[in-house]
Amino acid sequence: MDAFRFPDSFFLGAASAATQVDGDCKNSNWYDWYKKGYIQDGFDPDIATMHRKYLKEDTDLMASMGIRHYRFGLEWARIEPREGVFSDEEFEKIRQEVLLLQEKGIAVLVTIHHFSNPMWFEEKGGFLNPDYLRIFLRLTEKVVEKLGDIVSEYITINEPNVYAVSGYLGGGFPPGENSLSKTLTVMKNMGVCHRRAYEKIHALRRSMGFTDTKVGFAHHMRVFAPYSANNPWHRLCAALSEHLFQSKISKTYLLGTAGDRGSYADFLGLNYYARTASKGFEDNTFSGVHVNDLGWEIYPQGIVECCAKLNKIMPDLPIYITENGTADNTDAFRSRFIYEHVKALCESGLPVTRYYHWCFIDNFEWLEGFTARFGIVELNTETMARTIKKSGVFYQNMIENRGVTEEMAAAALKEEYSIG
């Protein structure tokens, strides 16, 4: 019973973000945040994994593991280093990366905004600036103008709720504010950006003669459960947290708001990591549960619960798991984590067609730097050597076998989680 097969339409891939892997950017809000001393291990995001220097090696490694779907992000600060001034040189580098991936048989899913802003936009107030929509659509239009002939699939915005809560409600991200009203405004404004960018991307690619465009956003969802099911306050906190953090976004980003009703996705993108035990509005974990190295609960059934909620909103769309992975610095339990989550998806009966593991190579993990490692490939930050981990071999075998054999399952299930 431990073995399983992938549905015919289900494929494994890998994901990354430009700031977390590329390096080579000193005019972003995250480099500024590093200079201000907010990164736990003091690691410089201008180095990250030096992916640009190791582009061919990384691509060859990915292809050798059988990965044929790769989600990667753009670094806005390099694309538009000064307001209204775009870099043709940067776009040419991105084109070469896309073409190299495609040459190796790897399809790309491009993320336009993944947490990082150029400093000129950050200093103007970011998505709180009254001109936020024109600025974001200008970026979107230029991306499609320069890449639209070779890129057909796009994520407009990654995790707008995490971006807003972490940056504007005391979560430690830049710009480091703590205001509920600003948080809600940023979420709302990013929703407008997503819907208008969805329309813009489709219109531009239609004008180029393409009919295969797919656009969505990557929605961070988690399971919110009352810390004590018998405590009315805990139940209320769980319900309110779910509504404010994700349910409202799910509906308004996908279907619009009053006067703006429509359909604004061609796939449902889900980033899933953990379950929250609600006894207030902070993030808590149940005692005695399996946890990863960051103390997040490992709750595989939650990925199905979140998929089901999205499927209920737009049941005709395929679901892409645009991120799922775990902080496991010694690679002690990652194979088991992947096995349990992918098995739950494949047995769910839901229209999940892609699973992008977060992440391919250990990367600059925002505030944690390299103290939290999510990769199926190990990075030596001193030599920059890349080494496939045990979990990477497991992932490669899953791809080759189109599922998991009894022998593979037995090995994965021998791995032990930590108890929180």
DSSP letter for each residue of 88-99: HHHHHHHHHHHH
Residue 17's SS3 state is coil
Residue 105: the pLDDT is 98
pLDDT exceeds cutoff 80 at 370: yes
> What was the pLDDT predicted at 282?
85
- Residue 228 has φ and ψ, to the nearest 5°, of -125, 120
Binned at pLDDT 50, 70 and 90, residue 342 comes out as very high
Q: Give the pLDDT score at 409.
A: 97
Residue 20 has pLDDT above 80, yes or no: yes
**Can you spell out the DSSP letters for 111-141?**
EEESS--BHHHHHTTGGGSTTHHHHHHHHHH
- pLDDT for 335 beyond 90: yes
Percentage of the chain exceeding pLDDT 90: 98
Q: What is the mean pLDDT of residues 284-310?
A: 97
Residue 64: pLDDT over 80: yes
Which pLDDT score, from 0 to 100, does residue 137 have? 98
Count of C-beta atoms within a 10 Å radius of residue 35: 13
Say which residue, 53 or 282, is predicted with more confidence: 53
Single-letter code of the amino acid located at 203: A
State the pLDDT at residue 123.
98
Q: Look at residue 350 and tell me whether its pLDDT is greater than 90.
A: yes
What's the mean pLDDT when you consider all of the chain? 97
Could you give the angle at the alpha carbon of 335 between the alpha carbons of 330 and 338, nearest 5°? 120
Residue 259 pLDDT: 87
Domains and their CATH numbers in the chain: 4-219+240-269+292-419 (3.20.20.80)
Render pLDDT for 391-415 as a digit per residue (tens, 0 to 9).
999 999 999 999 999 999 999 999 9
Q: Residue 30 has which token pair?
A: 């995250």
pLDDT tens per residue across span 213-239? 999 999 999 999 999 999 999 999 999
Q: What is the pLDDT of residues 132-162, one digit of tens each?
A: 999 999 999 999 999 999 999 999 999 999 9
Q: Average pLDDT of 39-48? A: 96
Question: Is residue 305 very low, low, confident or very high in pLDDT (cuts 50, 70, 90)?
Answer: very high
Write the pLDDT tens digit of every residue in 241-294: 999 999 999 999 999 999 899 999 999 999 999 999 999 888 899 999 999 999
What is the pLDDT, as a whole number, of residue 278? 96
178, pLDDT greater than 90: yes
In contact, 351 and 10? CB cutoff 8 Å = no
Q: Residue 377: is its pLDDT beyond 90?
A: yes
Neighbours of 313 (CB within 10 A): 15
Checking if the pLDDT of 188 tops 90, the result is yes
Q: Are the C-beta atoms of residues 11 and 400 closer than 8 Å to each other? A: no
pLDDT of residue 1 exceeding 80, the answer is no
CB 352 within 8 A of CB 341: no
